[in-house]
Amino acid sequence: MNSISAALQTHYSGDAVTLARCLRLQRVDNTVLGFTSLDHDFVFGGVTYAAVRGITGSDVTSGLSLEVDNSEASGMLNSDNITEADLNAGLWDYCAFRLFEVNYRDLTMSDRKVRAGNLGQVSKDRSGFTAELVGLLQRYQTIIIELSSVGCRASLGDTRCTVVLAGSPGYTVTGSITTGGSGFTVADSGRGEVDEYFTYGVITMTSGLNAGIRREVKSFTNTGGVIGLQMPFPYAVAAANTYSMHAGCDKAKRTCIDKFNNVVNMRAEPDLQGRDRLMQVGR
């Protein structure tokens, strides 16, 4: 049961109500934005809630079971705060949201929470966007224990892996793009590492329109320094744009030994017998 003020409860019980539904979003870059179904902007709790035409939401339902309580919001790209560039850059993906109602004629009544959680991945087409509002019950669907695996479960450079990506001996390099574009490949002909050295690594642009945006490396070819990307950057990469990029890890035991000399920290069971071996019948 949501806790609301006595004044707002009385307002709900009245013959006429003056309610506005509000959506508070905190993007992955910690920018806080507010939107409202009302036809004009207002400030509540230190956040300006902007009236955005064309934003609609599906019905919100809740139950007593642990089923995931999701809803959906969609709308036109008609706000200065919702830009296609930010959507392409992933700034809206998985950001925290809070959906609530207020009496817009008397904001001192506080609010009534409707739903809280995180956005699912935001999708877009030529006319607008759609975002899934994933409720907090989604977290009960998340596996929080580790299962045995042949491949390493740590991420390269994290506290469990302990490989130092930057500094000495470090596995991070910097450079400038010599061949850019808007597709799945860019190149730095000055690179001298062996083929596939950066495969499964991450490249981060440090200048140009894509500054600060990261992409996973799908492949690396020594000849021409061609860098394949899992996804293109949202903006065309220009020649002379600078970047940083760290080596990749395919999670295999041999890579951990030969490339990183770190098998003691490998979080995997590479010698575990497979299902077929375990199910064999003795002769």
- How many angstroms separate the Cα of 55 from the Cα of each of 75, 127, 137, 251? 4, 12, 24, 43
CATH 2.30.110 for domain 6-141: yes
Domain ranges of the chain: 6-141, 172-247
Residues (pLDDT < 50) of the chain are: 1, 54, 58-68, 76-77
What pLDDT does 247 receive? 96
Are 272 and 150 within 8 A, CB to CB?
A: yes
Please report, as a single letter, which amino acid is at residue 253: K
What pLDDT does 27 receive? 84
CB atoms within 10 A of CB 103: 20
What pLDDT does 33 receive? 87
Structure token pair of residue 146: 């580790």
Structure token pair of residue 151: 């491949």
What pLDDT does 71 receive? 60
What pLDDT does 211 receive? 92
Are 19 and 10 within 8 A, CB to CB?
A: no
User: What whole-number distance in Å separates Cα of residue 249 and Cα of residue 267?
Assistant: 13
CA angle 194, 189, 211 (to 5 degrees): 100
CA angle 198, 202, 207 (to 5 degrees): 115
pTM for this model (two decimals): 0.65
Are 106 and 118 within 8 A, CB to CB?
A: no
Are 132 and 70 within 8 A, CB to CB?
A: yes
User: What whole-number distance in Å separates Cα of residue 210 and Cα of residue 215?
Assistant: 10
Are 129 and 87 within 8 A, CB to CB?
A: yes
Place of tokens 């050295």: 197
Q: Which residues make Cβ contacts (< 8 Å) with residue 52, sequence separation at least 6?
A: 35, 36, 75, 78, 79, 82
Are 96 and 26 within 8 A, CB to CB?
A: yes
Tens of pLDDT, residue by residue over 22-73, are 888 888 778 898 888 888 999 999 999 988 764 555 444 444 444 445 566 6
